[in-house]
Amino acid sequence: MTKKVSRIGVLTSGGDAPGMNAAIRAVVRTGLYHGLEVFGIMRGYQGMIEEDIFKMEGRSVANIIQRGGTILKTARCKEFYEAPGRKKAYDNLKKQGIDGLVIIGGDGSFRGAVKFSKEFDMPCIGIAGTIDKDIHGSDYTIGFDTAVNTAIEAIDKIRDTMDAHDRIFIIEVMGRDAGYIALHSGIATGAENILIPERKTNIKDIIESLQEKEKRKKLVNLIVVAEGDEFGGANEVQKVLKENLPNAEIRVAILGHIQRGGSPTGIDRLIASRMGYHAVECLMEGKHNVFVGILNNKMHYIPLEKAVKNKGGISEEWMKIVKILAS
């Protein structure tokens, strides 16, 4: 193996996701194993611009694999959108001698990395750290499994009180542009309806179904809604249902940022560790602008730009499963 880099930087950017710390740990320890110097960049691209950069050692990542959030913090940096901001960031990296980057983040983070790398010929390796699972090229993204399990636990508890009172409950989960959390948590908790951004919501069909169930005295119904559903989220759905089902008890629960926090699941710790290890291997092999993913339990590499341009879609099979199991 030919070493192409000597000093690498690692950062977390965009929304935080459980398992990011496990990925940081893997990057640092793999880099040190190969004799590289590893630098942590605080608050993503913002820290790069402000030169909030520090050298990391093995002890820097001790006792973090089980922690949610990110020890490197994260931020969305508007200044990095502009050429002068990116130039300032590059100058700070060169001052530290950093000649390769591992970026743990989502779609917006990778867009910034693609532009930055083209302008300054800086090797960038992307790891998908996003609870939304909306990046092309990987069956997994860091944080998704934890977010789904958090949602499932909350929905299971809500279902207990829903059953006790014969209520309709509309539960809103995260997913501004992608409905994977809603889809997976909804199927896993037996939701009667799942509303996601990828599919047009036929509210008329939902109303008719609930009216028919009301006649059969099936008063307990669970609806899981992704926050980005085109109908407008849980509160909007409740308004329309209440107008058409005046006798029904309808409640809303918005799970919100509880889905971002918490100790990562075993799956998220494992995939984060695996991706972090392979990200450093890519830099060592002289690869530029690669997205590190996992498909069919094997490492999968695609150009970072391709991961940005293509979103993962929800298959018709999943939608058929939803329809059949909810009937």
- Each residue's pLDDT tens digit, 100-133: 999 999 888 999 999 999 999 999 999 999 999 9
Total-model pTM: 0.92
196 within domain boundaries: yes
Q: What is residue 107's predicted lDDT score, i.e. its pLDDT? A: 85
Q: What is residue 165's predicted lDDT score, i.e. its pLDDT? A: 84
Residues 39 and 102 in one domain: yes
Of residues 113, 111, 133, the one with CA closest to residue 123: 113
Residues 166 and 126 in one domain: no
Residues 157 and 254 in one domain: yes
Tokens, residue 123: 């090797």
Segments forming the whole domain that contains residue 213: 147-260
316 within domain boundaries: no
Boundary of a domain, candidates 245, 260, 275? 260
- Are 183 and 315 in contact by the 8 Å Cβ rule? The answer is no
Kindly report the number of other CB atoms within 10 A of residue 310's CB atom. 12
327 within domain boundaries: no
Q: What is residue 1's predicted lDDT score, i.e. its pLDDT? A: 43
Query: What's the number of domains the chain is made of?
Result: 2
- Each residue's pLDDT tens digit, 121-172: 999 999 999 999 988 888 899 999 999 999 999 999 999 888 888 888 999 9
Residues 119 and 208 in one domain: no
Phi/psi region, residue 53 (left: phi>0; alpha: psi -120 to 50; beta: rest), is beta
Residues 136 and 253 in one domain: no
Phi, psi of 125, deg, nearest 5: -115, 130
326 within domain boundaries: no
299 within domain boundaries: yes
Q: What is residue 76's predicted lDDT score, i.e. its pLDDT? A: 85
pLDDT less than 70: residues of the chain: 1-3, 217-219, 309-312, 327
d(CA 28, CA 64): 12
Determine the length of the chain.
327
**CATH number of the domain encompassing residue 127:** 3.40.50.450
d(CA 69, CA 146): 12
Segments in 233-265 forming alpha helices (H):
234-244
Q: Give every CB contact of residue 290 below 8 A, 6+ residues apart in sequence.
A: 125, 126, 282, 301, 302, 303, 304
Residues 61 and 14 in one domain: yes
Residues 128 and 269 in one domain: yes
Q: What is the DSSP letter of 151?
A: H
Question: Catalytic residue at 145?
Answer: no
- Are 193 and 205 in contact by the 8 Å Cβ rule? The answer is no
Residues 18 and 128 in one domain: yes
Residues 129 and 271 in one domain: yes
Secondary structure element (H or E) that encloses residue 102, with its range:
strand 100-105
**CATH number of the domain encompassing residue 239:** 3.40.50.460
270 within domain boundaries: yes
What separation, in Å, do the N-terminal and C-terminal C-alpha atoms of the chain show?
A: 56
Residues 60 and 175 in one domain: no
231 within domain boundaries: yes
Boundary of a domain, candidates 223, 242, 260? 260
Q: Which among 132, 134, 145, 268 is annotated as catalytic?
A: 132
**Bridge partner list, 193:** 223
d(CA 66, CA 25): 11
